[in-house]
Amino acid sequence: MKQSQMLIPTLKEIPADAEIKSHQLLVRAGYIRQIASGIYSFLPIGRRVLRKVEEVVRQEMEKIGAHEMMMSSLQPSELWKESGRWNTYGAELMRIDDRHEREFALGATHEEVVTSLIRDEVKSYKRLPLTVFQIQNKFRDEKRPRFGLLRGREFLMKDAYTFNESFESLDESYDKMFNAYTNIFRRLGLNFRAVIADSGQMGGKDTHEFMVLSEVGEDVIAYSDTSEYAANIEMAPVVTTYEKSTAALKNMEKVATPDQKTMQGVADFLGHGLEEGLKSIMFKVDDRFVMVVTRGDHEVNDVKLKNLYSADIVELASEEKTKELLGTGFGSLGPVDVPEEVEVVADLAVEMLVNVSCGANEEGYHYVNVTPERDFQVTQYADLRFIQEGDPSPDGQGLITFARGIEVGHVFKLGKFYAEKMNATYLDDQGKAQTMVMGSYGIGVSRTVAAIVEQYHDERGITWPANIAPFQVHLLSLNSKKEEQQQLADQLYDELIDAGIEVLYDDRKERAGVKFADSDLFGIPLRLTVGKRAGEGIVEMKERVTGNQSELEQSEILSVVSNWLKQ
Ligand code: ATP
Ligand code: MG
């Protein structure tokens, strides 16, 4: 395609709102443009990349017998009410009314729609297992859309769904899907890991996330330094065994801690380590108010809290509500003498402590020499903290290390969660009605594009893997006023196209410097430059990633380029 006729608006300056490389480069190189917060248009070269990623995904889906379909984005609220998620999905679900004031959701995911379809259309065990997928825009009103394509409010997702007769059959479908994902992310050239994950809103059990390793990832992966174990930090159980302290018990005392609002401040003021203080945080768990107590050097893991209560929604209690319940704000909270409406739960480490400090539920005061059970009661001790680096790996092998990751894919065993709620049944070989067993599998296609750029760029621009680049070859004519340059470039362009090579031809009347800079920014793997030696039929070839250059005779160009692309 001719660059002079294509919409590729490049920018010299880094856009002010773009914090990370993929966002900066995709905007600067003219791949995407923002329309509103978290909402982007893909411009022509961006669309080409997106299609290539889609194509890899599509091929691997079809290889495992998944069939593509396309469901509607507009979804009647009735379906979401059947599953119960109309109430539990929260503010991320975009809701709209039609002219008859009927409520709809814009598809954030399609479990409800696909389950209603399959329950109506599939009646017999003979039709199972069944796998369908689609590649389609999803809508989620994210609280903090950011990082360009990484967290959008409208984004492209591949979502697949499996319907099985039994849990054993689901295991097989899941394994196939897992392998397909591994192939997809390998083919996309990504450095990734599959990690044990939380099932979040989806209600399932067994689940893995595919994480692209990257400093800008929002997720933290906890992995073993010696085994294959890897989990989202949200999910990694803490298997440390704590020893009960043998120190002699001292009497609890209230002491003034003027102006000390932080854990560290209080610990310093009282002259002890962080681990000798209790951290107390108020949560709203569905309709209850729960105080979660951990050791001062530990962090509360709200996913574990949510799972402990099988809750739909866990959030920090407001400071106002906290004051109403406990008579004081966040800086001075503690578990001693809390009112009945407040349930106290504590991390396992807390049970073993003696003579520690905690807030006195009075501004500017703390208790010291507090001992659990003697000085305060706990409804339940449970694993409620985040795993930390250096903790033993949950599989018993090695120690935990952290890495950051971008979640590009997620596979879940949903089990009967939706099928039961939505009454999706089939007749087994005895003619008896049975509930279907389901799985759900997502890939963030547009997010994956950004994740690729995070791993493939240098100081001059993007360095796409060849199979994902918008074009295979970038052909430049440096001076279109020179007849022989123009002619040779035109001729090469036709030859490359005839050979089935995807070529972008920079035929613009721009300075050579501008063309080179744009070319580096785009990241097309091979560049052919027709310049001064055009008269002799000599063209320069340069590899984008390595910077390796060579001069080629006109006659050998096609074969050299084709061979290079085949590798
Ligand atoms: P996250 O934890 O990042 O919010 P999620 O767990 O809500 O993601 P899923 O429901 O598992 O996401 O969706 C499947 C895939 O869709 C994710 O693995 C991710 O790659 C992609 N995805 C989810 N939310 C977004 C978003 N806001 N923008 C771009 N891609 C997204
Ligand atoms: Mg997820």
Q: How far apart are CA 310 and CA 308, in angstroms?
A: 6
pLDDT (average), residues 294-298: 97
- In the Cβ-directed half-sphere of 273, how many Cα atoms lie within 13 Å? 5
- pLDDT per residue over 87-139, tens digit each? 999 999 999 999 999 999 999 999 999 999 999 999 999 999 999 999 999 99
Q: E strands, 111-153, where?
A: 130-139
pLDDT recorded at residue 200: 58
The residues that bridge with 551 in the sheet, in sequence order, are: 540
The per-residue pLDDT for 481 is 85
245 C-alpha to ligand 1 centroid (Å) = 44
CA of 406 to the centre of ligand 1 (A): 10
CA distance 159 to 441: 6
Q: Supply the pLDDT for residue 359.
A: 96
Residue 370 has pLDDT above 60, yes or no: yes
Q: Which of 221, 447, 454 to mutate to test the pocket of ligand 1 (most atoms within 8 A of CB)?
A: 447
Both tokens of residue 25?
A: 């480069």
The pLDDT value recorded for residue 258 is: 92
What is the pLDDT at residue 261? 84
Is 514 in contact with 432 (CB distance < 8 Å)? no
Beta bridge partners of residue 211, listed in sequence order = 193, 407
Q: Whose CA is nearest to atom 4 of ligand 1?
A: 151
Residues in CB range of 549: below 8 A, 6 or more apart: 540, 541, 542, 543
CATH fold for the domain made of 3-211+406-453: BirA Bifunctional Protein; domain 2 (3.30.930)
Which residues have CB less than 5 Å away from ligand 2 (the ion)? 410
Distance of CA 567 to the CA centre of its chain: 31
Q: What is the mean pLDDT of the chain?
A: 95
Closest residue by CA, ligand 1 atom 22: 444
Atom of ligand 1 nearest to the CA of 210: 18
- Phi and psi of 307, rounded to 5°? -70, -35
Tokens of 288: 């209850």
CA of 140, nearest ligand number: 1
CA distance 447 to 20: 13
Could you tell me which residue, 329 or 297, shows the higher pLDDT? 297
For residues 470 and 480, the model is more confident at 470
Please enumerate in sequence order all residues whose Cβ is within 8 A of that of 408, keeping only pairs 6 or more positions apart, or say none.
Answer: 185, 190, 192, 210, 211, 212, 443, 444, 447, 448, 451
**Residue 278 phi, psi (nearest 5):** -105, 140
Report CA(345)–ligand 2 centroid distance (Å).
27
Long-range contacts of 424-428 (CB under 8 A, 24+ apart): 424/115, 424/118, 424/119, 424/163, 425/119, 426/122, 426/123, 426/124, 426/125, 426/127, 426/128, 426/165, 427/123, 427/124, 427/125, 428/125, 428/165
Pocket of ligand 1 (CB under 6 A): 109, 140, 142, 151-152, 155, 157, 200, 407-410, 442, 444, 446-447
| Percentage of the residues of the chain whose pLDDT score is greater than 90 | 93
Fold topology of 473-566: Rossmann fold (3.40.50)
- Where do the domains of the chain lie? 3-211+406-453, 253-382, 473-566
- CA–CA gap between residue 508 and residue 257 (Å, rounded): 71
* Ligand 1 geometric centre to CA of 486 (Å): 47
What's the CA gap between 505 and 474, in Å, rounded?
6
Do the two domains 3-211+406-453 and 473-566 of this chain adopt the same fold? no
Residue recorded with tokens 């991320």: 92
d(CA 362, CA 259): 12
3-state secondary structure of 309: coil
Contact criterion met (CB below 8 Å) for 104 and 220: no
Return the ligand number nearest the Cα of 153: 1
Distance CA 46, CA 29 (A): 9
Q: Which residues pair with 407 in a beta bridge?
A: 211
CATH of 253-382, one of 3.90.1280.10, 3.40.50.10860, 3.90.960.10, 3.30.930.10: 3.90.960.10
Q: What angle do CA 397, 400, 405 make, to 5 degrees?
A: 125
Is it the case that residue 528 has pLDDT exceeding 90?
yes
C-alpha 266/C-alpha 331 separation (Å) is: 10
**The one-letter amino acid at 558:** L
Residue-level pLDDT at 199? 65
CA distance from start to end of the chain: 24
| Per-residue pLDDT tens digits for 139-160 | 999 999 999 999 999 999 999 9
